[in-house]
Every structure is written in structure tokens, then in C-alpha cells.
Structure 1
Amino acid sequence: MDKRKIEELQSRRDAIRASTSAAAIDKLREQGKLTARERIALLLDDGSFVEMGVHAHSAHPSLRERTPADGIVTGHGTIDGRIVYVAADDATVLGGTRGRVGEIKIARVRDAALRHRKPFIALMEAGAARVQESFGAMAANMGARFADHFRMSGQIPQLAAILGPAFGGPSFTAAQSDFTALARGTGVMGMSGPLVVKVGTGETVTPDAIGGADLSETVTGQADYVGDTEADTLRSLRTFLSFLPSHSGELPPVVEAKPAAVDTEEGREKLRTLIPDIGRQAYDMKRVLSLIVDAGDLFHYRPRYGPNLITAFGRIDGQPVGFVASNPMARGGVMDEKTAQKARKFVDVCDAFHVPLVFICDAPGFLVGPDIEKHRMVSLAARLLNTVCAASVPKITFVARKAIGLAYLAMCGRAMRPDYLAAWPGAHFDVMGPEAGVELVFGREIAAAPDPAARKAEIMARLDEQSSAYEAAAQGWIDDVIDPAETRDAIRQALAAAADSRQPGFKHRIDP
């Protein structure tokens, strides 16, 4: 072949990859941002990226010279040696808007990810439709991405990072993903941006008011992780993926085991002393989990959304496990609309990708009252119960202290058919909180007693014994009463016993 053609090819490649001006890069740096290709390089293993569609540009004649790669960088590479497909918006090309050719490119990698059964990762900034290429009747053919994400759901892991303004379609990509990370200070997601809001409602709003880090992390829960920097945000994608298989047809990867704090007598004693004897006294469940899992292998999912419940990935002897644990440090560990939504999505993801679930229950019940009913608490609780009941991965439940009513069931109580159900010595089971139960059943008797306070204390003491872990074990409702320091060993043994019950394969879609 003529050498000049090869030289032209290389020249074209170099020109496209160097097309971002120094001024545009300086502007990104001022905002604490990286270029699209820098983000990909940081996300993937060194030197592993293979770009697809590098010669693409806009199909619109007036935009051809201004749209290198048509504003989106696509291809595949590896994370910890595992192949992934990735698409990254280039905000320096017409603000990162999506043109027709760009949509063809990203559809190509979505299709390849599903056919080859590899994870798909979207790095998004701006990325709304390029109006001059989709105005009018062209909109009748829009929306293929939404159907693609549905088809991928539950079959391959879908991950998204919001690294700049990402209104409209890109936000739906994030919502349909299994894990969404957002960069604080730059990442914003929502139905529409400030300009569209202004035109549609007359209201002047800031991007952060629509879907900035604080709102997405604590109010809507649409960001599963918020990173302080782009590097931190991208690193979270690698960490999340490390707990999942590349597709539903295989089991999660098992890594080299690391010792846990409770593998030492000092660690076991630390765990025991963390648990107060007084039921109303709070303690740090995050600390409890950190002592149980392989050292350093605890990754929190939506930590600031519904913090009264912890959802986190960890490892036991190198094997990925999903933890759903009450957090008495926040609102006493009561269940509410946020914890129900968070737990449902987390359980759904774990079950779809064969990650065993460990529940640690210390829940005084679901929040009650007129205000919580406005959030459709009954429906949200029912959805969570359905999801927990339907999960077919190994389910292991420990009752730390309180197992009250429907909250106990939501934390994989007996009726949800856990593979192993044990309680710590201070655990108690009841259909409702003891104070409310005593008032409801014995209220008149207590009021008529010569000494109501003494009579109430007598009844409470009797019911306390009747609701104890030992009584539940005596009646055959739980498998054992264990020392909290034996929890890691119990998980290990239960996982071994249930190992052959995990059959790789597609199970179900994952609801947003």
C-alpha cells in the first residue's frame, strides 16, 4: 500500500485526538475537569483502551469540521483485566451535545456490550440532543437508548458517571444504570436544564437546585455515590464493578482473602463492646460491618440517602457479599420511604448478579404517621418485601437487637425464607414496639391498677422474656443464638452450605 495513505491515516488520527484546543483544556482545568480521553485513561487499565469510531463527525454539513469524533469517545478496554465497553461525552465539542452519528457510535458499543456480555460504562457531561440535527419530525425516531438500557438490564452491569451537566436523556441513562456516581461541584442531573425550566415554567433556577450533588445524594438518592473529585468518582466505578461479574451468566469474582478484625481476639472483643445492652442506645453499625468483612473491603452504596439503613458491598474470604444493615445512629434505625427504595434497588442488583445477601436487623419498625403516608409508604414497603422474598441468592439474616413488625420482614425475617437466621443474645422479636403493644393490650388494666407504673413494669418484664432470642430459638423460629463475634464465621459457614444453590444465568430486569 502507498506509504502516503498510511501517513494520511496517522495524520487524521493524530489531528482528531489533538483537536481539543489549549483554551478549551484550560477551561476544563479551571473547573477541575478532565478531557473525555483523560477520563477514559484514568478509568481503564493503563494502555488498554481501543477506540471505535474515531473518524466520525457530524452528518450536518455545517458542523463537519467542528465535531471531531462527533463529540463522543467510544470503545473498549479493561478494568482489572476484565473487558468493558465505554462511552464518554466530549464537552469541548458543541458542549457535548449528541448528534446522529454520535448516537450511532454509542448504540454500537451498547450493542457490542450486550452481545459480548461485557459491562457498559457511560461517562456523561452535557450530552443532550443536538437540536439542529433532531429538530421536528426526526424526533419520531428518538429514544433507542432507553430500550437498549432495558435490554441490558440484569444481563450486564451498567455503570454511569455524571461529570458535568447531564440533563434529559443522559440522566435517564444514569437512572437506568445499576450504579451512578456523580462528581461534586460539577456533576448535575435532572429532567431538564435551567434554560428549559425557564421557558417551560418561567422559573429561574440554578443547575444545583435541579440535581446537584447534595440533592442527588441526600434528597432524591439518584446518585449512588458522590465523589469529591473526578478521579474519586471514576475510582468508585472500578470499585463497584469489582464486586460484580461481567454478566449474569457467571458468578462474582472471588479475590484473594484478607483477614478481618474479628479474626483476632482483640477484634472480637471490640465487636462485643460496640453493642449496647440498652435497646434505645445507639451504636455504629458501619463500624460493626468494618470489623466483620475482609479488611478494607467495604464499599457503601447510597450512604447519605436514607442513612438509617446501610447498604454496602463487602467480602468474606474474598467472596463478594451485599450487606443490608439497620443503622441505629440515624433515626434509631427506623425504616422509611428512603430506606425502602434504597434497599429494594440494592437487593435487586445483588440478586440479578448472584451476590449473596447478609441482613443485620436492628429495626424498631417502619415510620408511621400522616406525613410518611404521603410518600406511599405502604406501596414502597410492599415493593421491598416482594423484592426480598423473590431474591434467590443465598440470604443470611442476623437480628442484632430489635426485630419489630414489617421492618423485621423487610430485613429478611423468617417468612422471607433466609438460608440461615440467627440472633445475637440481646435480640427481641415482636409485632410492634413493646411500649405501644403494652398500651394497646393492657392499657385499661394498667390504668385500673393501684400502682400503674409498677404494673406496667411487671408486664413489660414478662413480655421482654417472651420476646427474647432464646424464646424464638426454643420455638424453632430461628436457627441459633450466637455471640456477635461469631457473625463472620456464621456467614462463612452459611455461604459454604448454600454454595451449590447459586446457578448463573439471567434472572430479571432491575427496576430503576
Structure 2
Amino acid sequence: MDKQDPFHLHELAQRQARARAMGGDHKVALQHSKGRLTARERIETLLDPGTFDEIGLLAHSDLPEAADRSPADGKPTGYGEIAGCTVLVSADDVTVMAGAGGRVGVGKQYQAMAYAIQKGIPCIHLGDAGGARVPDIMGSDGMMSMVYPIKAAPRDRRVPLITTIMGECYGGPGWTASVSDIVIQVKGAIFAVGGPAILTIATGEQSTPDELGGWELHARQTGQVDLFAENDAHCLWLVRQVLGYFPSSADQLPPVYPATDPPDSRVEALLDVVPEDPKQVYDMHHVIALLADAGSVLELKPEFDGSLITALARLDGHSVGILANNPLVTAGAMGSGACEKAASFIALCDSFHIPLIFLHDTPGFLIGKGAEER
């Protein structure tokens, strides 16, 4: 026993420092060369300064040969605060074994998420990973359930769950995103089930990453992503902004902010925006901007079926959800995409006690062979 350090605190400090060094200087530099932050930098940028309380820092792969090269098992996870609100945040560390998930790291994330849901704490996942580590998940003991527990799939929306797509996200981060309330993708990042290489091997199909899961695909065709960011810093700012519209859990009401406009103010400018002629088109975005508190409108899925606008906003400081037909696009007539968009948004707002406002200006539904096929 070391009489100078009987509790091995020096050794503990060294192990903690090694874990916080992630995959090493070279891989950190490689991440920075792509214009991206590391997982730990993202967490620090997202949270209020000095509030991150990490769990499982000394975790590592349960495969002996990978223990020394899997600090925190590539999944830094812990609690912190955003605008004084306690949140759980987990991240994929792409500098550690490409951010791929093993039993220990992913198990740590899901156990923390289960506890957070039980305690009414919002959950945020910062995605940047290439699926699961095949050696780690081989064997008969639970196989894939050890990495992606079946209990993680169903959600009763007890707390807000926000997932960001910040790198080449195949597999794992995509599963989390698919059951999230809000998904935010950085332009240049990829959100897909499988990558081009495995696709070519499995099917012979030749595709680029952007064709499989680029931001334009999700913005205009799938509608799977709610918001798009220019870079990591913008993405993390959006997380903080969107969380402000929601309560911490479904047992609470959304927060109320100081009103930016008098509640009894008359919106005379509406007379200039909405034409008297019902056949004349106009942009419903201008109407929403006039009705809502100044600067409070956050549109979700802005490029997915523009005939319907879905936006979070505030009225007199209170969170509201706005669904509005936009006469500028198909005269406001709704197709299948707009209907899916509406149903998803209504369910989101209903889950977290956000009142809904409907602004109708539509001739009805899009009809025809194409509509019937959808």
C-alpha cells in the first residue's frame, strides 16, 4: 500500500484524465479538421457552464483487448443544466472506435435514460456514430438486445427527447432519432440505416452518403428531421432554443416567459397581409409572425410539404403550436405529406400540454391518382 496515497487518488486522477482525453490528440485533431467539435466539446457548449456531472467516466469495453482504447466506452453521458433546467445528455464520441456502440457504453446510456424518464428529466442525445461494434455484440447472451434494448423502442413521451445528427450516423443514432420528439441535423451530416459500402455489398446498389441520408433528403422527402443547422454550434443553440418551448415532463406545463408584446395589442397589419380577394395568394408565414410574440416562431420541418406550416411559438409568453395552411404552395391544399406532418405535430403538442392554434385557408385535399397511391 502506498502510504503517501492510501486511497490511490493519484491513480484515479490519471485514469480520469485518460478517459477525458478521448481517442487521443490525433483523432481529436481529425475531428477538428472537419469543422466539428468533439463529443465533450459539444456537451460543454450545450450545457450551462460548469454544470456537467458525468456518470460512467471510467467505463470501457468489456472485451479485454479493447479496454485501453475505449475511454468511457465512447459514450460520455451525464446530467447538466440548460437555462437552469436539469437535463440528461449523452453523446457518441467518434474519436473512440468511430463512436460505434458496445455493450457497456450503450447500456450506460440507456440506463441513464430510463432513470431520467422516471424522474421527469428531458433527454438529449448528440449523435455521431457508425452503428454497433460487431465483436462486442457477438454471442448468445442477449445479442442485439444487449446493445439496443427492446424497452428503448416504445415511448410514452413522458419527457422530451431530442436527438442531433452531427456526423456520419448509421444505425444506433438513427434508432434513437426515429423515436425522438425533435431531430436536428447539421448540414453535411448523414442520417441513414446503412452506409454506401455495406449497401453495395448487400445489394450491389451504388449510392453516395448524401443520397442515402443527407439533409436535403430528410428536409424535402422523408420529413424525418425537424430542424437543420449550419454547424455544430448552431445545432447546439437550436437544442437550447427548442427545449424552452417544452416542460421538463408531461406532468408539468410548459414554461412561461415574459411577454414581448402587450396581450391586448391589435394586429392591424394583418389587413395588409391577408388580401380581400380569396383567389389571391399570400404567405401565411407573415400572418404567423404578426400573431406570435416577436422573435418566438420556430418552424419545424420547414421544407417538407410547404402547403402546411407547423411551428412552435409563444403568445403572451406561453408556448403554443401553430398549424397553418400556406396558400403560396398548392393553394394550401394538403397532400399525404402535409397530413403526416400535421398528425406528428399535433401528437407532439398534445403530449406536452402545448395549446394548438389552427389557421385555415385551404380548398381541401389534393386529389388524383398520385394522392390515392400515397
What TM bracket, shorter-length normalisation? over 0.9
User: Does the CA-based 8 Å contact 1:255-1:318 persist in structure 2?
Assistant: yes
TM-score (norm 1): 0.70
Residues 55-105 of structure 1: CA distance to partner in whole angstroms, max 9, x if unpaired? 011111111111111111000101111111111000011101101111221
1:35 to 24, 38, 54: 38
Aligned twin of 2:294: 295
Kept after mapping to 2: 8 A contact 1:260/1:291: no
CA distance in 2, matches of 1:235, 1:374: 40
Alignment map for 1:376-415 (pairs within 5 Å): none
Q: Which residue is equivalent to 1:339?
A: 338
Instruction: Tell me the residue number matched to 2:11.
Output: 8
- Tell me if the contact between 2:307 and 2:327 (Cα under 8 Å) persists in the aligned partners: yes
User: Partners in 2 of 1:3 and 1:64 — Cα distance?
Assistant: 25
Bigger Rg, which one: 1
The aligned amino acid for 1:307 is: G
Give the match for residue 364 of structure 1. 363
- Separation (CA, whole Å) in 2 of partners of 1:223 and 1:58: 32
The structure with the largest helix share of the pair is 1
Write the mapping of 1:347-496 to structure 2, written as runs, cut at 5 A: 347-375=346-374
1:180-215 deviation line (CA, Å, top 9, x unaligned): 000001x21122111221121011211111111000
Q: Cα 1:45–1:272, aligned 2, differ >3 Å: closer, same or farther?
A: same
Residue in 2 aligned with 1:320?
Answer: 319
Give the alignment's Cα RMSD to 1 decimal.
1.8
Establish whether residue 64 from structure 1 lines up as the match of residue 67 from structure 2.
Answer: yes
Partner of residue 89, structure 1: 92
For 1:125 and 1:33, the matched residues in 2 are separated by: 10
2:158 is aligned with 1:158: no
The residue number in structure 2 matching 1:510 is: none
Letter in 2 for 1:80: A
Task: Indicate the residue corresponding to 1:147 in structure 2.
Answer: 151
Q: TM-score if structure 2 supplies the norm length?
A: 0.95
Does the Cα contact within 8 Å between 2:93 and 2:128 map onto a contact in 1?
yes
Structure 1 counterpart of 2:123: 120
Determine if the alignment matches structure 1 residue 254 to structure 2 residue 249.
no
> What's the CA shift for 1:30?
2.0
Q: Supply the distance in 1 between the matched residues of 2:150 and 2:316 (Cα, whole angstroms).
A: 38
Question: What's the counterpart of residue 214 of structure 1?
Answer: 216
CA distance in 1, matches of 2:22, 2:175: 29
- Which consecutive residues of structure 1, in runs of 5 or more, have no partner in the other structure? 376-512
Task: Name the residue aligned to 1:195.
Answer: 197
Equivalent position SS for 1:137:
coil
- Contact 2:107/2:147 (CA < 8 Å) preserved in 1? no
- Gap change, CA 1:68 and 1:143, over 3 Å in 2: closer
Output the CA distance in 2 between the equivalents of 1:143 and 1:367.
43
Paired letter, 1:217: A
Please give the per-residue CA displacement for 1:376-435, whole angstroms capped at 9, x wherever unaligned.
xxxxxxxxxxxxxxxxxxxxxxxxxxxxxxxxxxxxxxxxxxxxxxxxxxxxxxxxxxxx
Count of residues paired in the alignment = 370
The answer as to 2:21 corresponding to 1:18 is yes
| Structure 2: tracts of 5 or more residues without a match | none
Q: 2-side partners of 1:281 and 1:262: how far apart?
A: 29
Query: 2:284 matched to which residue of 1?
Result: 285
Distance in 2, Cα, partners of 1:106 & 1:224 = 23
Tell me what 1:237 maps to.
Answer: 239
Calculate percent identity across the aligned residue pairs: 38
Question: Quick check: 1:262–1:292 contact (8 Å CA) kept in 2?
Answer: no
